[in-house]
Amino acid sequence: MTKSTELRQKDVAGLQAEVKELQKAHFGLRMQKATQQLTNVATLRSTRRAIARAKTILAETVLKQGAK
């Protein structure tokens, strides 16, 4: 997972790509859980939180750019 400091260095397009990538990873994990192939269910929580972190930083970045 990427840290918030690494996310803050990205531009809007990079953050959007990161969110999309994390959402795809989360979907894959959900499918693994549904087919009982996922052994570590804690990864679902960490990816969900990573998505929220990336979306929050994306919203902050867009707000900063709009204020300029």
14 lies in a domain?
Answer: yes
Residue 40 lies in a domain: yes
| Whether residue 68 has pLDDT greater than 80 | no
The string of DSSP letters for the chain reads ---HHHHHTS-HHHHHHHHHHHHHHHHHHHHHHHTT--S-THHHHHHHHHHHHHHHHHHHHHHHHHH-
Domain span including residue 25: 4-63
Mean pLDDT of 46-55: 97
Domain count for the chain: 1
Mean pLDDT (whole number) for 46-60? 96
Per the confidence metrics, is the pTM higher than 0.85? yes
pLDDT at 1: 63
Tell me, yes or no, whether 44 lies in a domain: yes
CATH number, domain at 45?
A: 1.10.287
